[in-house]
């Protein structure tokens, strides 16, 4: 909804225009009805009216204007200087994000407007666990008939509706050719390229009886037509240098049809993309990890385009920071999808025709698989999982981090993937399980996945039957060691030993010699291991606990002493530091 003016408000009627006027001159309207014993009285508060108006399809709570036409301005001090707090409090308590703003008349009397969005299809909002509706001057519990009709609503497919104000001449021929090429390639049907534009679009149901659908405009419409009919279909790319920054440093607007937009958008993102160098290029030729993986970014944007609610007047917004990227689009998760089942429940597309065409042309994965790819590729690069926790009933927000937690983990996973045939590659659930084991989780619920990972030499079992736990395969610790900053310590074998076993000891605290021998594998013998451990004990980089036969090893105090000492060890060696009396 666009912001209203006082002049517009003065002409509105409460029922027809979904407005609730409160004079506000005798004192503030209660925020949550606190202090009132009667539920009927408590409901007549800001939270009560916001939930009722949202259930009504959106509207305005106006404080500081008389409720009788022509709604004379009375003025109010409600939430003066605390508008932002009121907005965030409503969102915290109801999950509804209103637009709260002030208006002033010619006499400088202040009016507070709380502009409330329409509820999503099938969703009812409640105050004090009661679904409210406005009935005359009252706020009453919603009747059963209304409640049932709402929760049984099916979201209409906006994309398949006929766009009454468009015709075939409003379509972009270059975009149509791109669509035809992609369909021919994906479906292995080169003859599709030779079809007339009208026939090709009809075959994909983008034209129905010669009439243009909304999906056709969004996918292959001319830029000027999209701007006229669906300005909310634009994508805004904003660059910011810091994550605390409110104003953007630069902004680019993409309003072309999707088949032309998506490549231009990625190119703009990639202009500021960075890379993390990987020194161990011997592993499957991996020489660098991009901050933002092209497959992941395209999939997130494709999902936003296919699943967003085009009835809401807000664009897809991409906020790009040096090491983070946020993608925000209107409309909550599709029906049936929640944060908890995001990876396990196939979604019902909000725009089924749009999603169908994108799938047939190889742009998006079939239902439920796109999100798998986003998580799989991100976690396999050693990055934190994509964060969808800032999403709500009105907006989906995907936050992608460019920070690589462990290059060694990325090498480990991608080396395994390279070794496996296509039909045995690690799935997103396999990689999530590896992440849990890497991060120290000892009890893994899904025994089937654990058994599969053990058979593929991804993990190793430790302990007795009643106290078994798993660690990642010893190759992981070797790879972490080879990418560690301090991998140049002492002579080759001892320095390599410390680099390989230190991540394990940091994670698990202590280990038996037999555990360490499993980690280093065939690189050194039992006798060499004992010798090098003794060397590291002598300079307090390793210490022990227990008696012979039950000895365990831990990282020593010198290891944690300070970064400067570690840097000096890189340059002049441990023995020199020892001779100088520094350790």
Per residue in 359-407, pLDDT (tens digit) is: 999 887 655 568 899 999 999 999 999 999 999 989 999 999 988 887 8
Angle between helices 370-380 and 407-419 (to 10 degrees): 120
The better pLDDT of the pair 154, 87 is held by 87
**pLDDT tens digits for 35-53?**
898 988 899 999 999 999 9
Handedness of CA 573, 579, 580, 581 (dihedral sign): positive
Query: Would the pLDDT of 326 be above 80?
Result: yes
Q: What is the pLDDT of residue 79?
A: 92
- Please report the pLDDT score of residue 492 as a whole number: 40
SS3 of 413, please? Answer: helix
Rounded Cα–Cα distance for residues 409 and 529 (Å): 24
Q: What is the mean pLDDT of residues 62-71?
A: 92
| pLDDT tier for residue 563 given thresholds of 50, 70 and 90 | very low
At 157, phi and psi to the nearest 5?
-85, 100
Average pLDDT for 173-179? 97
Distance CA 299, CA 371 (A): 8
Most confident of 169-183, 464-478, 514-528: 169-183
Alpha-carbon distance of 71 to 128, in angstroms, equals 30
Using alpha carbons, list the distances in angstroms from residue 249 to 162, 241, 245, 325, 542: 39, 7, 9, 15, 49
CA distance 379 to 409: 9
**Residues 347, 170: contact at Cβ < 8 Å?**
no
Please report, for the chain, the start and end positions of each structural domain, with discontinuous segments joined by +.
6-151, 156-391, 407-474, 484-579
DSSP output for 524-550? S-HHHHHHHHHHHHHTTSEEEES-TTS
Return the pLDDT at 489: 32
Residues 201, 202, 205, 206, Cα dihedral to 10°:
40
pLDDT at residue 20 greater than cutoff 70: yes
Q: pTM here?
A: 0.75
* Backbone phi, psi, residue 208, to 5°: -125, 115
User: Which pair of tokens denotes residue 475?
Assistant: 């190759």
Residue 125 in contact with residue 54, Cβ under 8 Å?
A: yes
CA distances from 232 to 256, 291, 447, 459, 528 (A): 12, 29, 47, 48, 67
Backbone angles phi, psi at 162, to 5 degrees: -75, 130
d(CA 567, CA 574): 11
Mean pLDDT, range 61-69, rounded to an integer: 93
Report the candidate in 46, 43, 36 with the shortest Cα–Cα distance to residue 76: 46
Residue 132 has pLDDT above 80, yes or no: yes
Strands (E), 376-440: 395-401
Q: Do 479 and 412 touch, CB atoms closer than 8 A?
A: yes
Q: What is the pLDDT of residue 562?
A: 53
Residue of higher predicted confidence among 550 and 358: 358
DSSP 133-156: EEETTEEEEPPHHHHHHHHT----
Length of the chain as a residue count? 583
The CATH fold of domain 484-579: Arc Repressor Mutant, subunit A (1.10.10)
Q: In whole angstroms, give the CA distance from residue 298 to residue 266.
A: 7
Averaged pLDDT for residues 516-543 = 79
Fold type of domain 156-391 = Heat Shock Protein 90 (3.30.565)
Q: Which CATH topology does 6-151 take? A: 3.30.950
- Give the integer Cα–Cα distance in Å for 204 and 176: 12
Four-residue CA torsion sign, 495, 500, 501, 503: positive
| Two tokens, residue 581 | 């009396």
Q: Which long-range contacts (CB under 8 A, 24 or more apart) does 441-447 make?
A: 442/469, 442/470, 443/469, 444/470
pLDDT of residue 485 exceeding 80, the answer is no
Burial 481-499 (b: 16+ CB within 10 A, else e): bbbbebbebbeeebbbbbb
pLDDT of residue 255 exceeding 60 = yes
pLDDT tens digits along 195-206: 999 999 999 999
Tokens encoding 476: 């992981």
The reply to whether 156-391 shares the fold of 6-151 is no
Asked if residue 515 has pLDDT above 90, the reply is no
Query: pLDDT confidence of 522, banded at 50, 70, 90?
Result: low
Average pLDDT, the chain: 86
Higher-scoring residue by pLDDT: 498, 10: 10
Question: What pLDDT is stored for residue 446 in this prediction?
Answer: 85
CB 380 within 8 A of CB 286: no
- CA 156-158-164 angle, to 5 degrees, is 125
């Amino acid at each position: 909804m666009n912001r209203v003016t006082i002049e517009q408000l003065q002409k509105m009627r409460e029922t027809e225009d979904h407005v609730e006027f409160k004079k506000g001159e005798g004192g503030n309207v209660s925020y949550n009805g606190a202090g009132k014993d009667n539920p009927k009285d408590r409901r007549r508060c800001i939270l009560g009216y916001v939930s009722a108006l949202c259930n009504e399809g959106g509207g305005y709570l106006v404080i500081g204007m008389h409720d009788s036409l022509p709604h004379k301005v009375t003025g109010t001090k409600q939430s003066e200087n605390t508008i932002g707090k009121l907005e965030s409090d409503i969102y915290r308590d109801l999950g509804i994000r209103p637009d709260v703003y002030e208006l002033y008349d010619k006499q400088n009397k202040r009016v507070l407007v709380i502009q409330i969005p329409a509820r999503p299809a099938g969703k009812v909002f409640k105050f004090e666990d009661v679904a409210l509706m406005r009935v005359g001057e009252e706020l009453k519990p919603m009747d059963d008939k209304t409640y049932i009709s709402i929760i049984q609503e099916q979201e209409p497919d906006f994309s398949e509706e006929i766009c009454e104000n468009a015709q075939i001449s409003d379509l972009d021929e270059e975009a149509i050719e791109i669509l035809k090429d992609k369909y021919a390639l994906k479906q292995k049907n080169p003859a599709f390229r030779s079809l007339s534009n009208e026939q090709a679009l009809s075959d994909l149901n983008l034209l129905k009886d010669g009439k243009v659908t909304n999906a056709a405009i969004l996918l292959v419409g001319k830029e000027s037509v999209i701007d006229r009919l669906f300005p909310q279909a634009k994508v805004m790319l904003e660059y910011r240098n810091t994550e605390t920054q409110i104003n953007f440093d630069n902004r680019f607007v993409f309003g072309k049809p999707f088949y032309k937009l998506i490549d231009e958008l990625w190119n703009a993102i990639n202009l500021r993309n960075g890379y993390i160098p990987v020194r161990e290029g011997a592993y499957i030729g991996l020489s660098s990890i991009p901050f933002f993986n092209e497959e992941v970014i395209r999939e997130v944007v494709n999902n936003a385009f296919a699943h967003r609610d085009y009835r809401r007047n807000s664009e897809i917004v991409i906020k790009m920071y040096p090491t983070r990227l946020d993608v925000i689009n209107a409309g909550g998760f599709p029906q049936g999808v929640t944060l908890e089942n995001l990876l396990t429940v196939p979604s019902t597309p909000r725009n089924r025709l749009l999603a169908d065409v994108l799938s047939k042309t190889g742009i998006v994965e079939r239902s439920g698989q796109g999100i798998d790819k986003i998580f799989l590729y991100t976690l396999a690069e050693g990055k934190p999982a994509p964060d969808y926790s800032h999403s709500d009933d009105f907006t989906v927000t995907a936050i992608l981090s460019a920070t690589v937690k462990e290059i060694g983990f990325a090498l480990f996973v991608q080396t395994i993937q390279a070794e496996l045939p296509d039909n045995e590659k690690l799935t997103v659930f396999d990689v999530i399980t590896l992440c849990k084991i890497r991060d120290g989780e000892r009890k893994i619920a899904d025994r089937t996945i654990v058994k599969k990972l053990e058979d593929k030499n991804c993990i190793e079992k430790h302990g007795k039957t009643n106290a078994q736990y798993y660690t990642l395969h010893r190759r992981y610790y070797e790879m972490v060691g080879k990418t560690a900053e301090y991998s140049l310590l002492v002579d080759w074998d001892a320095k390599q030993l410390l680099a390989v076993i230190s991540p394990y000891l940091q994670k698990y605290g202590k280990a038996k010699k037999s555990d360490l021998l499993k980690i280093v594998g065939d690189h050194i013998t039992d006798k060499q291991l004992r010798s090098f451990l003794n060397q590291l004990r002598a300079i307090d980089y390793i210490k022990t606990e227990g008696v012979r036969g039950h000895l365990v090893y831990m990282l020593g105090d010198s290891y944690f002493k300070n970064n400067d000492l570690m840097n000096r060890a890189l340059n002049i060696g441990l023995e020199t530091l020892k001779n100088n009396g520094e350790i």
